[in-house]
Amino acid sequence: MGKEKKVRDSASDDCWWWLVQNGTSAVFITIGLFALLVRVAVSLHPYSGAGNPPKFGDYEAQRHWMEITTNLPVKEWYRNSSSNDLSYWGLDYPPLTAYQSFIHGLFLKFFHPESVALFTSRGHESYLGKLFMRWTVLSSDALIFFPAVLYFIVVHYNQPSRSHKSELAWHIAALLLSPCLILIDHGHFQFNCISLGFTIGAVAGILSGKDLVGSVLYCLALNHKQMSAYFAPAFFSHLLGKCLRRKYPIFEVLKLGLLVIGTFAAVWWPYLYSTQSILEVLSRLAPFERGIFEDYVANFWCASSVLIKWKRLFTTESLKLISFTATVITCLPSMIQQIKSPSNRGFLYAMLNSAFSFYLFSFQVHEKSILLPLLPATMLAVEEPFVFKWFTQFAMLSMFPLICRDNLVVAYLALLALFVLMLSAPVQHRARKSNYFDTYLGSATMFLILCCYFVLHIVYLTMHPPKKYPFLFEAIIMNLCFSQFVLVTLACNIKQWLLNKPAKSEEIEKKLI
């Protein structure tokens, strides 16, 4: 940070010098406070399933987990019993989520015991209950996500080539004010900030060369939400690629492998006493019975089901196999690139690409999973400002039907506007340079797509779909988003492979010298 303070921003005579001039910490505190304010304001809005018995929504699920974990012994958390009815929002995330629920449950038990009382609190809704639940997310965000972002920023901007302070502030804002994450965590109600925070921390660790720290943090992310496995190919291939280039590759790989196993063992400790209990937990984590997709999600299976009725044509078993194969094939290119020539930038692209191939092709994807590919895209925001902007907009759209169900439209529109304002003046010299979309699509097409974007919002809010096709609008929205996501991931795959070229030419130059 000290270094950056000395570096004079080239644009120091512009009118926003004052926020930047006090150093990274002041910038971070200012933006962090603003981001917290936005989060608190969003948390005033309704949560998913508010006042909607008997199943309510994700809010009730999280509350129920707090109820279960604080009232039952660890071993029974994942076991169906008379006091733990797994068919009513049974725990279906890995143990770290359960521990987190336990800690938050203790907090609720202390201040508002009736909201987590066993049995009687089912469907509990109250002013204080909502408030404390909201505060559990806010505190997790402030304690895990925010420090992780700071760590990432410090590492990312410690490299001598990056000295633009305005860029740094812009990047912090992009990470902390990501509208999708705020809406899902503080509006809809989930704890993505924890697993994503661990992931950012892991990335920062790896970017700074501390692979061991990185892999431990990533294991924690994986143990909080199994969805973090979307990034697994990138982490695996990048670390493997790095190890292979060291002196004792096998030793390095072993070291990392042991560390990963150790972390997993530590997290899973209470369930390691028998194979059966491990299987019990594992079976909760993989809900294959729910079908290849639920609701409407902008991935390949849902988008193509307009033409091909996958669910009717194939059995669940064969669909599992098909989706698995498709996922692996699509993330192979980026994996190979990382094994061949691991690099920091390439790693971020690989994360984006592998997360996208999971989102687009894997089994049982939620619309909320778009947060996972969105994270590396945000970390790449300075390199790829246009992709970041375009992608975030369509990620928002892809969640719009969900948001409407949750009665969060006002918050959605305000956050979208805030996001556009934030981007209203992106780092322009870079935007021009790397605007892939413009060259591929042409500005007229892009303008047309944006028009569709706005019209779809209005149509969805104001019009009723024809009776024959009650989900017509959802299908249109998902297909539009799907097409844009495919474009983004194609562009980023190509970009990742192009990274090799300049590196090679530099090497050649060095050799010549």
Partner 1 sequence: MGKEKLSFKEVHHSHNPKTTLWWFFFVATCIKVLLFPSYRSTDFEVHRNWLALTHSLPLSQWYFDETSPWTLDYPPFFAYFERFLSVFAHLIDPQMVHLQDGLNYSSNKVVYFQRVTAILSDLSLLYGVYRLTRNLNSRKQKLIWSLIVWSPMLFVVDHVHFQYNGFLIGILLISLSYLEEGRDLLGGFVFAVLLCFKHLFAVAAPVYFVYLLRHYCWGGILRGFSRILIMGGVVIAVFASAFGPFFHLGQLQQVIRRLFPFGRGLCHAYWAPNFWVFYIMSDKGLALVLRKLGFNIQVPVASFTAGLVGDSSPFSVLPQITPFVTFLTVLLALSPCLLKAWKNPQPQMISRWVAYAYTCGFLFGWHVHEKASLHFVIPLAFVAAQTLEDARHYFLLSIVSCYSIFPLLFEAQEYPIKVLLLLLHSILMWSGFSAQFCDEDETASRPSTNSKKKADEVGSECNPGATVKKGFVIGWSERIYLIGLVVVEIWGQILHPLLLGDKFAFAPLMLISIYCAFGITYSWIWQLISIVRSL
Binding site for partner 1 (CB under 8 A): 11-22, 26-27, 29-31, 33-38, 40-42, 44-46, 127-128, 131, 138, 166, 169-170, 172-174, 176-177, 410-411, 413-415, 417-418, 421-428
Min dist CB 433 to partner 1, Å, is 15
Choose between 91 and 173: whose C-beta lies nearer to partner 1: 173
Choose between 413 and 486: whose C-beta lies nearer to partner 1: 413
Choose between 26 and 499: whose C-beta lies nearer to partner 1: 26
Non-local CB neighbours of 267 within 8 Å, separated by 6+ positions: 94, 95, 96, 219, 220, 223
Min dist CB 421 to partner 1, Å, is 6
Min dist CB 166 to partner 1, Å, is 5
Min dist CB 31 to partner 1, Å, is 4
Choose between 184 and 478: whose C-beta lies nearer to partner 1: 184
Give exposure, 70-98, as e/b (b: 16+ Cβ within 10 Å): bbeeeeebbbeeeebeeeebbbbbbbbbb
Residue indicated by tokens 């973090």: 228
Closest to 379 measured CA to CA, from 359, 399, 351, 357: 351
Choose between 9 and 252: whose C-beta lies nearer to partner 1: 9
Min dist CB 429 to partner 1, Å, is 9
Choose between 136 and 299: whose C-beta lies nearer to partner 1: 136
Per residue, what are the HEC states of 89-131? CCCCCCHHHHHHHHHHHHHHHHHCHHHHCCCCCCCCCCHHHHH
What one-character-per-residue DSSP string does 416-463 give?
HHHHHHHHSS--HHHHHHT-HHHHHH-HHHHHHHHHHHHHHHHHHHH-
Min dist CB 176 to partner 1, Å, is 7
CA of residue 282 relative to chain centroid, distance: 22
CA distances from 177 to 32, 196, 438 (A): 9, 14, 26
Please state at what angle helix 23-42 crosses helix 409-423, rounded to 10 degrees.
160
What one-character-per-residue DSSP string does 257-296 give?
HHHHHHHHHHHHGGGTT-HHHHHHHHHHH--GGG-SB-S-
Min dist CB 20 to partner 1, Å, is 7
Backbone torsions φ then ψ of 365, nearest 5 degrees: -105, 140
User: Tokens representing 152?
Assistant: 């990432």
Choose between 126 and 304: whose C-beta lies nearer to partner 1: 126
Instruction: Find residue 84's DSSP bridge partners.
Output: 81
Choose between 330 and 393: whose C-beta lies nearer to partner 1: 393
Min dist CB 488 to partner 1, Å, is 22
Choose between 133 and 477: whose C-beta lies nearer to partner 1: 133
Min dist CB 38 to partner 1, Å, is 7
Instruction: Find residue 365's DSSP bridge partners.
Output: 293
Min dist CB 454 to partner 1, Å, is 17
Angstrom distance (rounded) from CA 365 to CA 305:
14
Choose between 7 and 494: whose C-beta lies nearer to partner 1: 7
